[in-house]
Amino acid sequence: MLENGGLPMLSITVKKGHTAQDLAAVADYLAEKFGVTRETATPEQLRIAELHAEKVRNKEKQAVQKVEDYYAQGSGETPSRWMGSAAEALGLSGAVERDSLLATLQGFDPRTGEDLVQKAGVDRRYAFDLTFSAPKSVSIAWAVGNDDVKKGIEAAQDRAVEKTLAFIEETFALGRRGSAKDGTIVKERAKLLAAVYRHGSSRELDMQIHSHAMLQNLGLRADGTWGALNEKELFEWKLALGAVYRAELSSEMVNELGFGIEADREYFRLAGIPPELEEAFSKRRAQIEAALREKGLAGGKASEVAALDTRKGKEVVEADILRAQWTKIAAEHGVTADSVQALRTREKESKQESLSLDRPDLFRKLTAMEAVFREKDLFRIVGVTCSQSGRGPEDAKTEVAALLKDPEIVTLRGKDGETYHTTRDMLALEKEIQSLAREGKSDTSHILSPEAVMKAAYWFESEKRLSLSDEQKAAIDHLLLQPGRIAILEGHAGAGKSTALIPVRTALEASGFDVVGASLQGKKAAGLEKDTGIRSQTIASLLRELQGGEKEDGTTVPPTKVLTEKTVVVVDEAAMNDTRLMAGLIRQTEKAGAKLLLVGDESQVPPVSAGNPFATLKKELGWASLTENRRQKQDWQKEASREVRAGLVTEALQKYLEAGMIAIAKDRDEALKETVEGFLDRFDAGDPTKTLLTAYKRADVAELNARAREAIGACLSGIRVETTVRDRDGKSEGKREFQAGDRLYFKKNDKKMGVMNGETGTLTKIDATSDGKECFFTVKMDKGPEVRFDPRDYAQIDYGYAITIHKSQGETVDFSSNLVTGMGLSALYVQLSRHRDGTRIVLTEDQIDKMAQNQGIELAPTDRMIDFTEQLLAGNPALAGELPEDWNKDFDVCREFLDTYSGVELGGRKDREGFDCRLEKVKSLLSGIRKNEKMNALDFEIVDEKERKEERAIGKEVQKEAEGREIPGAGVRQTRRTEEGIRPMEREREREYEPERGGMGF
């Protein structure tokens, strides 16, 4: 469920343009009370997007004007004011005047017209739009409450924005000097200037009190000079700033207005405002979106136009009419001005007790998803606690300062020279893994005889009529003939890891060993068992059986499984295991004297939770490699997969671009449509396992499933059954209609049924009585036998046409169609290596900009664009005077020049006479993507003297010596891990995660 009915609580947009017309459009856009940016709704609290002002086409002008009129007429003047301590230096206070705003956006002194910065004028980055949106319950109280409540909430919103801007000034060094090109940028603190506009409704005309703080690209430095801002920290602190804003707003609501509050995930809501009312207003949004689909429209502007039609044809809705509509809907849910006033029962508090935090729980949250954290992560988590306790940013700052002095926190220094932190518990876990791996290096109790290995390989080749490659034979030798209680096999995507494990299992069992398989996900465990014959289960269930534990009712369950020195545990997709999970596995195998075989690929999807133990163990122990791509049929695709894995993204994507396998849609709706169409074009109902539909986010997977099912459902026949589907905890996720032929996804392990979480199958038969008393589904599992069940008893199912990228790792299909909403090398590698024949990558141009911003990449023109520009100038030298200064550095500057003067429109699909500039933008983005890895705390320099002494004591020299050590065995190597291209993860990424494993989802 999205907060605020779909609006992020705080977003940042970069405002940038190149003409006076662009500049005026930005100012008018704000002044006429029209939202400055249209964000795609996501659960993220703080969304970053970079929006480049372009020339507005006549048709677009008409649509924008229509919606601007819709918002502006009769609604009065948009409240505005100058904020930031730099305002005083320019004589700015009170309401924002248009002329002053135009001057500061261009970098001029509004009083004298003098240049404040170098290169002042229209061709510059104007400002950063920080959009602060209150929780939906606050907006409802504002819309329905009496004048006193309304004015109080408006004042609270203004103070919350002002306090957050002050926090930015105090915390960040946004001022800068020097040149990025020359590498001479120096950061310093600066006073800031912001033009803040408060609005009362969303684009869908729901009540939505929010403020646009146009943070000018001007900073007043300590020496009295002005300069442009270095916005990087704004984006890095996006989630923390949202928490700081909510903390102040919460404090205002409790301590000034007397409302009670309650936690709402990591947000807060006003106590007494029914959640059902929030959902009722969200249905208005759904109504508009449905109208869009009927009209074949999508995107921000289309939403605004559809909003007119869904309001019975009214083209203008004045503020009092809107408020009357809101009041009527609220009253239907028992919320009135009187009931809102009655919620204000809390007296103002002059003094408060100190904030009480559960520090052990806080430390676990800090290292739930990453092994290291920064000050911004502390502010994010502490800010959440403050916002749910009615405490403001000052309390958050006090608590963060105290936490940084807590002995449980260890200070680290990264290779970038920046300060990081971890917890002693996380550091101890990493050291334990490292130590246990070293202790078992010389163990010889699991070495097989060469004869047994050769016999197993011979049997495999004879029985399967397949020949093992020299690389596979060397890998088998490494796993079975080398000393050590832990052995590692790293195989590239499609390199035949499962094939090599069959003779490994055969040789071990013939030599008297019991082979046990495990994987992070149930689906992967089922695949391991089917492909190799190794009895397999999830790692979580294996650890439960080995350790025992406590049930929900408080009773203790004893261990039910025992490992011995004659046990070999094979873990598939081991690179996806986080530090805590890997530590648990190694403890159990070491305690029993068993052997652990880790099989995975570090270049694919990393662990969801904290740490990268697979990398640590590779450093310590070495590994065998399988590199030959046996999955993909075409040589150019094999080469492209190798290039992506090696970080040569531009070269790899060029091949897919030329093959027409990358599509750029105009918006999310079109991207969803194109992704599904690509899937349907290749979908084979006779063998649905040949095709795959993937996305990064669960919300996108749900939408893809719904659209794919809508199309495929029209071709199905037989009994239709509508049933409620549920999540793993039994919570309803709505109703679904099923027919024979549907693809099903299973979400919960059930030993009795014989299904695991993440498995898929095809519904082959429905047996149901006419009175509905009996209903049974028969499903042919993709990797297992047929199962039969009552969907009312086992309701943890859903459509299985689309799955997440995490779930797709390890899959092999003929064709995959992939919606891209977040891209790193690991995710891209997985998406480009699932198929045998072909793939489809679909994204939007706006998403390219977002990914570039999230990756910290300045999009530059591609070589082809630069060549095109130079050819144009050679043919018409007079155009040199029109060429912008940054044409060869800024993608959009170059693109606009070419759009204007080349005679070829570069914004659409590929044209034989020119080229598609959107595809060129993909290449620019991908050429800048670096490999974002999960980091270990031990990858950093330990600053704490106590920990440094301990680190030296356990033998840092031993680790150093191990990094370059050769391991006997042909084709088996241990290469020194290069640090080039590796950096700490500097941004919060959208992740798919298992809730019960801890952490937060965004």
- pTM for the model: 0.69
Task: Give the residue with greater pLDDT, 357 vs 347.
Answer: 357
Q: Pick the closest to residue 192 from 317, 85, 308 (CA basis).
A: 85
Judge whether 992 and 999 are in contact, CB under 8 Å.
no
A 10 A CB-CB count for 945 gives 8
Judge whether 161 and 209 are in contact, CB under 8 Å.
no
| The length of the chain, given as a count of residues | 1002
- At 119 the pLDDT is 79
Judge whether 333 and 375 are in contact, CB under 8 Å.
no
What does the alpha-carbon distance between residue 79 and residue 31 come to, in Å, rounded to a whole number?
9
Q: Pick the closest to residue 670 from 42, 1, 40, 7 (CA basis).
A: 40
Least confident of 22-26, 362-366, 751-755, 989-993: 989-993
Give the phi and the psi of residue 615 in degrees, each rounded to 5.
-65, -40
Please spell the DSSP secondary structure of 536-601, one letter per residue. Answer: EEEHHHHHHHHH-EE-TTS-EE-------TTEEEEEETGGG--HHHHHHHHHHHHHHT-EEEEEE-
- Residue 755 CA, distance from chain mean position: 29
- At 70 the pLDDT is 27
Instruction: Using the Cα atoms of residue 302, residue 308, residue 311 and residue 313 in order, give the sign of their dihedral.
Output: negative
- Please provide the CATH number assigned to the domain covering 648-853: 3.40.50
pLDDT beyond 50 at 570 = yes
Q: 3-class SS at 693? A: strand
**Burial (CB count <10 Å: 0-12, 13-18, 19+), residue 455:** middle
Half-sphere exposure (Cβ direction) of 504: Cα atoms closer than 13 Å: 34
Q: 3-class SS at 484? A: coil
Residue 737 pairs in a beta bridge with 722
- Residue 667 CA, distance from chain mean position: 18
Least confident of 172-186, 217-231, 333-347, 916-930: 916-930
pLDDT beyond 80 at 638 = no
**If you average pLDDT over residues 797-819, what whole number do you get?**
84
- At 761 the pLDDT is 93
Q: Pick the closest to residue 798 from 728, 750, 751, 693 (CA basis).
A: 728
pLDDT beyond 80 at 285 = no
What does the alpha-carbon distance between residue 905 and residue 902 come to, in Å, rounded to a whole number?
8
Q: Structural domain boundaries of the chain?
A: 3-342, 441-632+965-976, 648-853, 858-928
Q: Determine how β-strand 190-201 pairs with β-strand 80-83.
A: antiparallel
Q: 3-class SS at 366? A: helix
Q: 489: part of which helix (H) or strand (E)?
A: strand 486-491
Judge whether 122 and 106 are in contact, CB under 8 Å.
yes
- At 617 the pLDDT is 94
What does the alpha-carbon distance between residue 244 and residue 594 come to, in Å, rounded to a whole number?
50
What does the alpha-carbon distance between residue 304 and residue 741 come to, in Å, rounded to a whole number?
39
Residue written as token pair 């004011």: 81
Q: pLDDT confidence of 207, banded at 50, 70, 90?
A: confident
Q: pLDDT confidence of 640, banded at 50, 70, 90?
A: confident
pLDDT beyond 50 at 68 = no
Query: pLDDT over 90 for what percent of the chain?
Result: 38
884-908 as b/e, with b when 16 or more CB fall inside 10 Å?
eebbeebbbbbbbbbbeebeeebee
pLDDT tens sequence across 721-739: 999 999 988 888 889 999 9
- At 856 the pLDDT is 55
- At 993 the pLDDT is 27
Q: Determine how β-strand 486-491 pairs with β-strand 623-626.
A: parallel
CATH architecture of 441-632+965-976: 3-Layer(aba) Sandwich (3.40)
Task: Give the helix, strand, coil percentages of the chain, each rounded to 5.
Answer: 45, 20, 35
pLDDT beyond 70 at 287 = no
pLDDT beyond 70 at 790 = yes
Residue partners of 323: CB distance under 8 A and separation at least 6: 143
Instruction: Look over the chain and give the mean of its residue pLDDT values, rounded to a whole number.
Output: 77
Q: Pick the closest to residue 129 from 194, 222, 221, 204 (CA basis).
A: 194
Q: Determine how β-strand 982-983 pairs with β-strand 662-665.
A: unpaired
pLDDT tens sequence across 520-537: 888 788 889 988 999 999
pLDDT beyond 70 at 863 = yes
- Residue 825 CA, distance from chain mean position: 13
Report which DSSP code applies to 253: I
Task: Give the residue with greater pLDDT, 162 vs 955.
Answer: 162
What does the alpha-carbon distance between residue 657 and residue 832 come to, in Å, rounded to a whole number?
12
Least confident of 17-26, 229-238, 376-385: 17-26
A 10 A CB-CB count for 196 gives 24
**If you average pLDDT over residues 759-767, what whole number do you get?**
93
Q: 3-class SS at 738? A: strand
**If you average pLDDT over residues 179-184, what whole number do you get?**
64
pLDDT beyond 50 at 957 = no
pLDDT beyond 90 at 508 = yes
Residue written as token pair 């069992």: 509
Q: Determine how β-strand 267-270 pairs with β-strand 261-264.
A: antiparallel
Q: 3-class SS at 761? A: strand
Q: Are 441-632+965-976 and 648-853 the same fold in CATH?
A: yes
- At 25 the pLDDT is 47
What does the alpha-carbon distance between residue 54 and residue 908 come to, in Å, rounded to a whole number?
15
Residue partners of 568: CB distance under 8 A and separation at least 6: 446, 508, 513, 514, 515, 516, 594, 595, 596, 597
Return the amino acid letter for 117. Answer: V
Q: 3-class SS at 311? A: coil
pLDDT beyond 90 at 512 = yes
What does the alpha-carbon distance between residue 966 and residue 629 come to, in Å, rounded to a whole number?
25
pLDDT beyond 90 at 801 = yes
pLDDT beyond 50 at 351 = no
* SS3 track for 794-818: CCCEEECCEEEHHHHCCCCEEEEEE
pLDDT tens sequence across 131-161: 899 999 999 999 999 999 999 999 999 999 9
- At 986 the pLDDT is 33
Judge whether 987 and 854 are in contact, CB under 8 Å.
yes
**If you average pLDDT over residues 985-993, what whole number do you get?**
32
Least confident of 221-235, 785-799, 815-829, 845-859: 845-859
pLDDT tens sequence across 222-256: 999 998 888 778 888 888 999 999 999 999 999 99
Report which DSSP code applies to 449: P
Please spell the DSSP secondary structure of 652-665, one letter per residue. Answer: HHHHHHHTT-EEEE
What does the alpha-carbon distance between residue 742 and residue 762 come to, in Å, rounded to a whole number?
6
**If you average pLDDT over residues 59-76, what whole number do you get?**
32
Q: What angle do CA 80, 33, 315 make, to 5 degrees?
A: 155
Task: Give the residue with greater pLDDT, 176 vs 335.
Answer: 335
Judge whether 926 and 918 are in contact, CB under 8 Å.
no
Q: pLDDT confidence of 601, banded at 50, 70, 90?
A: confident
pLDDT beyond 80 at 444 = yes
Q: pLDDT confidence of 208, banded at 50, 70, 90?
A: confident
Judge whether 593 and 565 are in contact, CB under 8 Å.
yes
What does the alpha-carbon distance between residue 85 and residue 624 come to, in Å, rounded to a whole number?
60
Q: pLDDT confidence of 646, banded at 50, 70, 90?
A: low
pLDDT beyond 90 at 897 = no
- At 358 the pLDDT is 85
- At 757 the pLDDT is 87
pLDDT beyond 60 at 64 = no
pLDDT tens sequence across 554-566: 678 888 999 999 9
Q: 3-class SS at 231? A: coil
- At 652 the pLDDT is 72
Least confident of 83-87, 696-700, 793-797, 879-883: 879-883
Give the phi and the psi of residue 272 in degrees, each rounded to 5.
100, -15
- At 907 the pLDDT is 42
Return the amino acid letter for 159. Answer: R
Half-sphere exposure (Cβ direction) of 697: Cα atoms closer than 13 Å: 16
- At 44 the pLDDT is 30
Report which DSSP code applies to 689: G
Half-sphere exposure (Cβ direction) of 206: Cα atoms closer than 13 Å: 31
Return the amino acid letter for 709. Answer: R
What does the alpha-carbon distance between residue 638 and residue 215 come to, in Å, rounded to a whole number?
47
- At 552 the pLDDT is 60
CA distances from 587 to 486, 547, 563, 927 (A): 12, 11, 11, 42
